[in-house]
Amino acid sequence: MTDPTDLPAAAPGPEAEPEPVPDLPVRPPVAPMLAKPVKAMPKQDGTLFYEPKWDGFRCIVFRDGDEVYLGSRNERPFTRYFPELVEAVKAELPERVVVDGEIVLPRGSQLDFDALQQRIHPAASRVRMLAEQTPASFVAFDLLALGDESYLDLPFAERRARLEAIFGRAGHSVRLTPVTRDDGQAGEWFEMFEGAGLDGIIVKPGDQPYVPDKRTMFKVKHERTADVVVAGYREHKTGPIVGSLLLGLYGPDGRLHHVGVAASFPMARRAELVEELKPYVADLGEHPWGHWAEQAAATVGQPAAGPATGGQRVPGAISRWSAKKDLSFIPLRPELVIEVAYDQMEGDRFRHTAHWRRARPDRTPESCTYEQLERPVSYNLDDILAR
């Protein structure tokens, strides 16, 4: 379950129809129960359950007969975007049920979050085509209601047992997440499963009820470091101070590619950075990303370029997720190197915002390449779900 699962702010297109609202003991919208990050795997205290942390769109499925509602984390429904899951829920889950889980998109033996993002599209014709070309799956990990009974007040250990009991008829598209009570095995999963596209472990106290919108679970995520080039910055929404640093790595083609941003700074530090970066401000025409506007305009709605595709990744990529944002930036001569912490890669860029660790005056910009990045060992997604 990943943080950037919010739907675009724009309303669905004119082909959208009103979403059905099933009449169940737990009715939508329901804000899902959340997890707080911890640095180390919690030790087993007799109550804990450990699950893989899925990298997709958090979703609560509501089914009442032929009425199915796919609720998102921000309470805007996913129903119209995943018609194949609506049919799978009807075929593979009980008549009246509410299940918490994650919408994921398997590609071969791994998850493909980039392809999953493409599924959020305003045109019904495009939605139907993508449902056939890149069908999604649903991984269940909690049971909120069954029949006419709400399970919100039951402890998780009991909810899990009842969830397992309803999966006798589940099929290929609706799957049950594996779980273990062994913290040692959870540690092995943490290292092994990343190669299939998962990004950590969720730890659930077995004696707790389901509390919507509260961080009563725990999550353990990977954290790695990389030395990157600071090649520009965007101003903060409040004024002419640093909002985010634009980070780059050199690819095998010798070009500097945009790999993400670092943005977690106190307000006072954002103002200091403006002064520290002034000597490095460059003319956009002489910058490695000087053609960003032209490339961005030429690739609207297209997959982002990058070293893997033979193109150069620049920071001005426009999509339905960023169409209303000002993506212009203050270019800097690519001479500064910093160390950042990141959790995982999504293709050839950082999956989430990176975090500043320290300046690296001892490193040359040219030494900041993709070769330094740790790549997880590949692991088969089907082997995980078969557990």
Catalytic residues: 53
CA atoms of 166 and 94, how far apart (whole Å): 7
Segment (H or E) for 382: helix 381-385
- Going by DSSP bridges, is the β-strand pair 96-104/137-146 parallel, antiparallel, or unpaired? antiparallel
- Runs of H (alpha helix) within 278-328: 292-298
DSSP 37-93: E-SSPPPP-SSEEEEE---SEEEEEEEETTEEEEEETTS-B-GGG-HHHHHHHHHHS
| 189: enclosing H helix or E strand | helix 183-192
Those residues with Cβ within 8 angstroms of residue 192's Cβ, 6 or more apart along the chain or in another chain: 377, 379
The Cα 143–Cα 151 span in angstroms is: 7
Opening angle at CA 47, ends 42 and 51, nearest 5: 60
How many other CB atoms are found less than 10 A from the CB of residue 62?
28
Rounded-to-integer distance, Cα 339 and Cα 352, Å = 15
SS3 (DSSP) at 130: helix
Query: How far is 211 from 153, CA to CA, in rounded Å?
Result: 8
Instruction: Pull the structure tokens for residue 220.
Output: 């353990």
Q: Are 229 and 288 in contact, with CB atoms under 8 Å apart?
A: no
CA distances from 93 to 97, 165, 168, 176, 311 (A): 7, 11, 9, 11, 44
Q: Smallest Cα–Cα separation from 219: which of 2, 37, 3, 33?
A: 37
The tokens of 292 are what?
């960003």
